[in-house]
Structure 1
């Protein structure tokens, strides 16, 4: 089953460490990584930094656009008054049909703050419980959604192929 997950960490460097653990888990067959991005929000910074890595350059552009839409919509739109709702609304529209809903987006926006980090993943055939065990000690919180076959196809057709 394809899953969009966000692992939120209480320290700015923990998502990068988790990404390394993720690579090892993928090498052992625990999970298949479709794509990933790391968001790091150092203490004292006004905005987070995003690191997107993908082994296949021909697919990089589509997933780069996906992470740009999601991360940009969550963290780089104005954060006052009605602009927050409008920004989330635009993001919900942009990700329509992908299984990523308003509640999840709002939860990510409120939980990933200055001094934290997050590992954003699109995975296939993964055991999230066992993966979470590998992240033990990194003070993580999981925000996940299992995608239906139709949502998976929309996500992959729009961003991953």
Structure 2
């Protein structure tokens, strides 16, 4: 099963450290990382920085477009009020097919702010218990996923968030 998750960290470096742990888990065969992106928003910066991983060269173009649309709409369009809602609504039409709804998009936009970071990950075939050991204690907060409620509960218990 392919899953989309967004983990928020309360410092600008947390998501990059989590991405390194995720890559290490993948190299050990605990999970397949389809692609991921890191958003870091240091204090004093007007907008966050983004880093797209492009895990597989053959997938890079498609995922690059996805990350560009998603992250651009959430963080780089100067939107306020109704315009932000309309942009997120339009984005949700593109992301619904992969289980990312408007509420999740709004939550991401509201919670990833100055002084924080976020790891956006698309993964497959994860051994949640073993991968969770890598993330335990990192104090990341799951803010968006397309997992079922039962899968989400297991993930949160395992990752110690």
1:83 to partner: Cα distance: 1.0
What pairs with 1:67-78 in structure 2 (closer than 5 Å)?
Answer: 67-78=67-78
> Unaligned regions of 5+ residues in structure 2, if any?
149-161
> Unaligned regions of 5+ residues in structure 1, if any?
148-161
- Report runs of 4+ in structure 1 exceeding 4 Å deviation: none
1:60 to partner: Cα distance: 1.1
TM-score between both structures, scaled by the size of structure 1: 0.84
Instruction: Report the counterpart of residue 124 of structure 1 in structure 2.
Output: 124
Alignment partners' CA distance in 1, 2:61 and 2:30? 26
Q: For structure 1, which segment, 121-130 or 57-66, has the greater mean C-alpha deviation from structure 2 after superposition?
A: 121-130
1:56 to partner: Cα distance: 3.0
Q: Is the 8 A contact 1:77 1:83 kept in 2?
A: no
Instruction: Report the counterpart of residue 45 of structure 2 in structure 1.
Output: 45
Corresponding pairs, count: 147
TM-score between both structures, scaled by the size of structure 2: 0.84
Change (3 A) 1:132 1:115: farther
1:127 to partner: Cα distance: 3.4
Note the aligned Cα RMSD (angstroms). Answer: 1.6
Q: Is the 8 A contact 2:34 2:55 kept in 1?
A: no
Determine helix, strand or coil for the equivalent of 2:98: coil
Q: Is the 8 A contact 1:5 1:145 kept in 2?
A: yes
Alignment partners' CA distance in 2, 1:86 and 1:134? 38
Instruction: Report the counterpart of residue 89 of structure 2 in structure 1.
Output: 89
Q: Is the 8 A contact 2:16 2:38 kept in 1?
A: yes
